[in-house]
Amino acid sequence: MVRETALHPRDFILPLFLHEDAEDTPISSMPGVTRWSLESLVREAGEAHALGIPAVVLFPKIDDSLKSPLPEECHNDGGLIPRAIRALKAAHPTLCVITDIALDPYNSDGHDGVVRRDDHGELTILNDETVAILCEQALCHAKAGADIVAPSDMMDGRVAAIREALDDAGFQHVSILSYTAKYASAFYGPFRGALDSAPKDGDKKTYQMDPGNSREAVRETLLDEAEGADMLMVKPAGPYLDIIARVRETTTLPVAAYQVSGEYLMLKSAAAAGWLDEKAVALESLTGIKRAGADMILTYFAKQAAQWLAEG
Ligand code: PBG
């Protein structure tokens, strides 16, 4: 009766991995998580939706032969993601389909942006060239029926550019969930293994945020709000609860938090070793993220947590 924060399946967004193969592949770096075929993806999303989960977010593993330095495949209307969006919306019209906007799965360099190398091998991420391609990617997903596009690339000015590109093409109704405060985190390791999307060289510290920074998250919040974001995200979640709370106080927009692959893996592996009670720690960590101020939580526990909550 006096509990202030209670979890509900509608708080969760389920991240789903997919690939071109007809077989489903368990992801070894993320126990309990699978890379799905298109057909299984539709089934899995349907099961999650039936448990009360309103939304999924899609992450593709792209064949090496389709990766390139100016990743054209990321806006191919016949590509894996547009086909997945169409299949999901046809099978589950009330499911909210969110797509990731970033170049890394398609980029032969493995970075979220376009890379230039100088004569000394020094590497620069080309912000504005990248933003133009991100707009094409967002349009491609909107055309296929995506409800929300979620730029995770951290380029400057991309929210305003994507908003304008969507509006100009008649997609005023497609929302933007911006990765507002996305930190350069070692907790993404297992995810990059799952998609084979780790940077070939260099790191993401020139565009993702410094874990020591908190005021910068406020600045990014104000910028994304002014640029027209509909929802803001903090990522990772558990080690950044203060940032979730600070973003929550700074904006009136809905706030999402992403419990990332490394956070999931820590709890999963400790539970597998018999050291922690999986259900208890998973629900406690998700409660903490919601208590800090997140309206929505992207979590690999989404389906299982919805089942646990139904058990009571
Ligand atoms: C890349 C992207 C990443 C994640 C989501 N989108 C990895 C990265 O920035 O390198 C990480 C998610 C996770 O670790 O669960 N655009």
Q: Residue 94: what pLDDT?
A: 98
Mean pLDDT of all residues in 252-268? 98
Model confidence band, residue 122 (pLDDT cutoffs 50, 70, 90): confident
Residue 289, pLDDT above cutoff 90:
yes
Residue 192 covered by a domain: yes
Residue 196, pLDDT above cutoff 90:
no
Mean pLDDT of all residues in 118-140? 94
Cα gap 299→162, rounded to integer Å: 25
Residue 120 covered by a domain: yes
Q: Is 152 in the pocket of ligand 1 (CB under 6 A)?
A: yes
The helix (run of H) or strand (run of E) holding residue 26 is strand 25-26
Q: Residue 179: what pLDDT?
A: 97
Q: Residue 142: what pLDDT?
A: 98
**Is 182 in the active site?**
yes
Whose structure tokens read 């929302």?
175
Q: Which atom of ligand 1 is nearest to the CA of 15?
A: 15
pLDDT in tens, 54-65: 999 999 999 999
Mean pLDDT of all residues in 114-121? 89
Q: Residue 195: what pLDDT?
A: 80
Residue 3 covered by a domain: no
Q: Is 147 in the pocket of ligand 1 (CB under 6 A)?
A: no
> In this structure, which amino acid lies at residue 238?
G
Mean pLDDT of all residues in 171-180? 98
Q: Residue 312: what pLDDT?
A: 80
Residue 74 covered by a domain: yes
Q: Is 224 in the pocket of ligand 1 (CB under 6 A)?
A: no
Residue 171 covered by a domain: yes
Residue 169 covered by a domain: yes
Cα gap 233→71, rounded to integer Å: 25
Q: Residue 189: what pLDDT?
A: 92
Question: Which of 27, 152, 297, 298 for mutating ligand 1's site (highest number of atoms within 8 Å of CB)?
Answer: 152
Residue pair 46/87 in contact by the 8 Å Cβ criterion: no
Q: Is 299 in the pocket of ligand 1 (CB under 6 A)?
A: no
Cα gap 71→77, rounded to integer Å: 13
Cα gap 154→224, rounded to integer Å: 11
Residue 35 forms beta bridges with which residues?
Answer: 17, 25
pLDDT in tens, 80-110: 999 999 999 999 999 999 999 999 999 998 8
CATH number at residue 184: 3.20.20.70
Q: Is 261 in the pocket of ligand 1 (CB under 6 A)?
A: yes
Atom 9 in ligand 1: residue holding the nearest Cα:
188
Lowest mean per-residue pLDDT among 93-97, 179-183, 196-200: 196-200
Question: Which of 203, 260, 263, 301 for mutating ligand 1's site (highest number of atoms within 8 Å of CB)?
Answer: 260
Residue 217, pLDDT above cutoff 90:
yes
Cα gap 188→167, rounded to integer Å: 32
**Is 204 in the active site?**
no
Q: Which one of 61, 67, 204, 235 is the catalytic residue?
A: 235
- Residue 308 CA to ligand 1 center (angstroms) comes to 26
The helix (run of H) or strand (run of E) holding residue 137 is helix 127-144
Lowest mean per-residue pLDDT among 105-109, 131-135, 262-266, 290-294: 105-109
Residue 101 is part of which domain span?
Answer: 9-311
pLDDT in tens, 10-55: 999 999 999 999 999 999 999 999 999 999 999 999 999 999 999 9
Residue 236, pLDDT above cutoff 90:
yes
Residue 251 covered by a domain: yes
Cα gap 37→150, rounded to integer Å: 22
Task: Quote the number of domains for the chain.
Answer: 1
Mean pLDDT of all residues in 263-268? 97
- Residue 192 CA to ligand 1 center (angstroms) comes to 7
Model confidence band, residue 197 (pLDDT cutoffs 50, 70, 90): confident
Residue 161, pLDDT above cutoff 90:
yes
Q: Residue 200: what pLDDT?
A: 84
- Residue 154 CA to ligand 1 center (angstroms) comes to 11
Q: Residue 69: what pLDDT?
A: 94
Q: Is 240 in the pocket of ligand 1 (CB under 6 A)?
A: no
Residue 4 covered by a domain: no
Q: Is 107 in the pocket of ligand 1 (CB under 6 A)?
A: no
Cα gap 158→6, rounded to integer Å: 34
CA distances from 44 to 4, 124, 268, 300 (A): 32, 39, 20, 13
Q: Which atom of ligand 1 is nearest to the CA of 198?
A: 10
Q: Which one of 61, 67, 182, 204 is the catalytic residue?
A: 182
Cα gap 131→212, rounded to integer Å: 26
Residue 121, pLDDT above cutoff 90:
no
